[in-house]
Amino acid sequence: MFVAFDHRAKCTINLCRPSGILIPEHLQILDVDNNETICENTRPTLSSVAPDFERCGYEAAAALHALFKRRTSTAKELKSRSRKRSKGCRRRTSRIPQAESSEPATTYVPMHSRQSRQFPLRPLSAAACAFWR
């Protein structure tokens, strides 16, 4: 499961535990933010993608500058600049053991994109976790 941020991943683990859903045996989790305090102190520890906010900020400023100078004209051009900006993935115990590579975050997405066509992913809410109880 790909979760939006570290705190939500920790909440997901806490909601799954009483239901007998084991992490990572039954459900593997990958999230975004890589907050060391949350990731290292959650059991099992959280695997997390570290966004490159500084680089994204520079690229956003360059995109705005290009818009003001009329060098970039379409939203599609701007969107293509902003994709896949991370500092990598910190692999911990909450994630899939088979996804081994020098770039774990890039391994995870293609491996699950085939499955997502058959089983579309949706955001997990507390209500969804309560359903599993």
Total domain count for the chain? Answer: 1
Is there a domain that residue 34 lies in?
A: yes
Is there a domain that residue 128 lies in?
A: yes
89 vs 15, residue with greater confidence = 15
5 vs 96, residue with greater confidence = 5
Q: In whole angstroms, how far apart are CA 122 and each of 9, 22, 28, 58?
A: 14, 20, 15, 31
Is there a domain that residue 81 lies in?
A: no
Question: Mean of the pLDDT values across residues 22-30?
Answer: 89
107-133 residue pLDDT tens: 333 334 444 444 444 444 444 444 333
Is there a domain that residue 43 lies in?
A: yes
31-76 residue pLDDT tens: 888 888 998 988 998 988 888 888 888 888 887 888 788 765 566 6
Range of the domain at 18: 2-52+86-132
Is there a domain that residue 66 lies in?
A: no
Amino acid letter at 49?
A: V
Q: Are 51 and 82 in contact (CB under 8 A)?
A: no
Is there a domain that residue 93 lies in?
A: yes
* For residue 8, pLDDT beyond 50: yes
